[in-house]
Structure 1
Amino acid sequence: MKYLNWLFSFYINASIHVTFAVLSLVGITLLEYDLKISFSLWALLLFGTISAYNFVKYASVAGLHHRSLTNSLKVIQVFSFICFGLLLFFMFHVALDTLLVLGAFGLLTFLYAVPLLKRKNLRTFGGLKIFVVALVWAGVTVFVPMAEAKMQITTDCWLSFFQRFLMVIVLTLPFEIRDLLYDAVYLKTLPQQLGERKAKLLGIFFLTVTIILEGFKDEISIAHLVSLIAICILMGGFLVLSEKKQTRYFASFWVEGIPIIWFGILSLLLHFLL
């Protein structure tokens, strides 16, 4: 049991779970637009997401306390180094156009973590944090697979991007509510500025807009619409239940796993409706 607990903690803390969430959103884009991407891009997104998330979470810790890192952090460090090496390998097996699009969002991630302007990074600019995260997630999971498939960007594509952008903001809110007790005031997160209740209402509004936007698409898939409504209801429920004092894995496992559930629902609906 002790080994299983350690393995589960590693799965969460090494950013494997959030990586599967990102890959699930990529899969949803592929299913919605009937696209295919290469194994190399799947691998690049897998190892790139792990590397990027662990860099954002642990770079400063490793730099300041590299001699006193706990064993678990040392394992994550080695794991991240291996993933980064594999990331570099698969970069040479992906088309240049795809790399340029992915690189733009990778640069945003780098600027989010590394202080360049007056010792500040994008995370520390008041109010920007949640929108940078949403922009990167939406861009990587919508536009990167489209670039790989050489798909022309249509109005429907932009609508999917904005839907994904709003949904990621809502997915991030439970984390910001949890961190209300710890976040510095200068971060100006939405719950800090609006209060917990109004931040939740804003999230519900964003989910409503997300569903409405689906109606403006030229091509509407019944399976995608049903799965979208179902997952927005689920996200809204988790948002309402979010509190400053949460169980250990409420946000980092259950909320972060919602895209995985969405991918499963959409896959099942497509299987039974087609």
Structure 2
Amino acid sequence: MLNPLILRIENLVIKYGDKPTLLDRLRHKPDTRFTAVDHVSFDVPTGGSVGIVGESGSGKSSLLRAIMGLNPIDSGNVRYQGTILNMGAYSDLRKSMQMVFQDPGTALDPMMTAGQTIAEVLRVHRIVDADAIPDRVNELLDMVAMPHDTADAYPKDLSGGQKQRIAIARALAFNPKLLVADEPTSALDVVVQAQILDVLKDLRARTGLTILTVTHNLDLVRYLCDSAVVMHNGKLVESGPVSEMFSHPRNDYTRELLAAAPKLAR
């Protein structure tokens, strides 16, 4: 039996620039806005791991930010567990949809230790009782394979990979159902990339977390994901199970990405 869908993207269009005015439309003036995402549709099953792949400028990050309510949608829908997401729905569902950004250095407060960063989420959102916060911080550090004494470290004392693990731990503090990652390893060297992917893969196996990730590197998707969506010039050019896509790619652009993909250090 197929898993129910946690996310459904329906004919999504994202454009940048000034919208045509009513007078423009009456004069049949063409819409000259830049189309970043052009009628894209795909599904994300509950507990699955889906990769959105494409080069810079393919529209993948615009798509991801729109899914999280950070970019306006021109037309189409984003459904989360069957609910069409609008601003009200995003505020209700924000805790269960968490995002990890490309550069963890800009996402962490330099004035707060790693432990304080995670504890603040637990305290402000009242996720656990105050006396349980230290233990929960340690549990979250365990989940991202970081020693407990990392809680006392400031971002300046952490490597890029360690910062990304803390960013993941902070996202996990919300007990999300969906983790959305925008190029989570692109700023890291190949060995550290593999370590972060191991963390994500282990989290999914142990918790049933659904993962949606954007990357320009198709080989990362082969390791982490069940299925992939390939984007080129704002359009979805191929999608399907990773095993099939890698053995029998149907689109020339997918073949080019496969040929250019660097290999993970294992």
TM-score range (shorter-chain normalised) is under 0.3
Between Structure 1 and Structure 2, the one with more strand by share is: 2
In the superposition, the TM-score normalised over structure 1's length comes to 0.26
In the superposition, the TM-score normalised over structure 2's length comes to 0.26
Between Structure 1 and Structure 2, the one with more helix by share is: 1
Q: Greater CA radius of gyration, 1 or 2? A: 2
